Structure 1
């Protein structure tokens, strides 16, 4: 019987290529983050400019819409009560 002992296989990695890949990946990530920061800055600036140019500030618009919704709700309830009282 012939028994062969196999030595464990080893992987030979070119560390120079791995290092280059890591450096390029890190550089790409930094460029991507810089791009996202610039884009976000532009969007925020545009939003602030839009709000500044509004005739009615958003908080005041929201308060008016809330008041309108409450008045509509109250009117609906009064109409419902008056029709249900008329049927009884």
Structure 2
């Protein structure tokens, strides 16, 4: 029996130009830093605009929220009383 040995040439190495990879990585890092700086500036501008807007309000947001909550509670109570009055017994239950 004759055995045939197949001789393969060694696979060529995967050649990567490390200079291009390094340059790409550096550009990515620089771009990320510029993007972060832009986001920080935009956020700072938005926060300052929000603070100025709140300062210019006649009624502070906390007071406005409290007033709206009181109104909602009063409206809820009035609605409940109207519903009970419509039931005919003024909301009282008979045992």
Task: Give the C-alpha shift of residue 42 in structure 1.
Answer: 0.4
The CA deviation string for residues 46-88 of structure 1, in whole angstroms up to 9 with x for no partner, is 00000000000000000000000000000000000000125xx
Q: Identify the structure with the greater helix proportion.
A: 1
What secondary structure, in the 3-state scheme, does the structure 2 residue paired with 1:18 have? helix
Structure-2 separation of matches of 1:26 and 1:69 = 53
Task: Give the C-alpha shift of residue 9 in structure 1.
Answer: 3.8
* Equivalent residue runs for 1:1-88 within 5 Å: 1=4, 3-85=6-88
TM-score w.r.t. length of structure 1: 0.91
- The count of residues paired between Structure 1 and Structure 2 equals 86
**Alignment RMSD, CA only?**
1.3
Task: Give the C-alpha shift of residue 4 in structure 1.
Answer: 2.5
TM-score w.r.t. length of structure 2: 0.85
4+ runs of 1 displaced by more than 4 Å? none
Question: Which has the higher Rg, Structure 1 or Structure 2?
Answer: 2
Structure-2 separation of matches of 1:19 and 1:57 = 54
